[in-house]
Amino acid sequence: MFCSKCGADNADGASFCKECGAALSEEKEKVFNMPILPPEALSGEPPVKKKSKAPAVILIIVGVIAAVFIIAALISGGDGRDPVADFKELVFEDYTQEKIGNTAQKVFKYSPSWKYEKAGDDHYLISVSGYYDELSMNVEAVYDLYYYENYVSANINHAYVNGQYLSDAISLNAVAALVCNNTDVAAGYLGLSILGDLIFG
């Protein structure tokens, strides 16, 4: 062990320098308590701060969320409307007092299929289709849905029954009544017993 005062070489474990008498034990403590420096500090160059990855991660997350909102807006027509959900809330009072979303669920043996297409600024075509088990037929009813300032309005435009296109008033009223789960009104237009034969083939 070397003395820090005079540089004399002393035996390991000695408490005092044999040449100048300085205490060697303090030197041990000083050496032992010296901070360990990283290699960069010994090179003489200033340390380089590592950049945090947090801002990049935050930007990526914000970008993904923005992309999801943009895609959702494009899918919904870009106007923030949900035409199918709005249509399902409508009540066609000529046929029922229930929402059409509920009646269609009751009419079609399997869950009805809902689709929409934007036809104009405030105009959408809404399609509800499914299998009507009682008459063994596939039904698709297409409605015009219009958005006004304070309300939404809809009326049936055309229909398909077992692939046959229907657009006459009697057939459309029968299909609209059927989708509203009102077989009595549908029967009033043609008679439910001949509905499948005459209109729906």
- Among all chains, which residue has been given the structure tokens 């077989």? 183
Instruction: State how far the Cα of 132 lies from the Cα of 98, in Å rounded to an integer.
Output: 19
Are 125 and 136 in contact by the 8 Å Cβ rule? The answer is: no
Structure tokens at 99: 């929402």
User: 114 - beta bridge partners?
Assistant: 128
Sheet with 137-147, edge to edge strand ranges:
113-118, 123-132, 137-147, 152-161, 164-166
pLDDT tens digits for range 15-64: 888 888 888 764 444 445 556 666 666 666 666 666 677 777 787 888 88
User: Residue 28's pLDDT is what?
Assistant: 45
Q: Which pLDDT tens digit goes with each residue over 39-49?
A: 666 666 666 66
Q: At 161, phi and psi to the nearest 5?
A: -130, 120
Residues found in the chain: 201
pLDDT for res 180: 93
Q: Does domain 83-199 have CATH number 3.30.530?
A: yes
Helix/strand/coil for 158: strand
Separation CA 74–CA 51 (nearest Å): 37
Which residues have CB under 8 Å from 3's CB, separation 6+? Answer: 10, 17, 19, 20, 22, 24, 27
Backbone angles phi, psi at 114, to 5 degrees: -120, 135
- Chunked mean pLDDT (size 10), the chain, 201 residues: 81 84 62 59 63 76 80 60 94 93 91 94 95 88 95 95 89 91 74 50 55
Beta bridge partners of 140: 129, 160
Q: What is the DSSP letter of 182?
A: -
Q: What is the pLDDT of residue 194?
A: 47
Q: Please state, in angstroms and rounded to a whole number, the distance separating the CA atoms of residues 9 and 42.
A: 26
CB 143 within 8 A of CB 156: yes
Q: Strand 137-147 and strand 123-132: pairing?
A: antiparallel
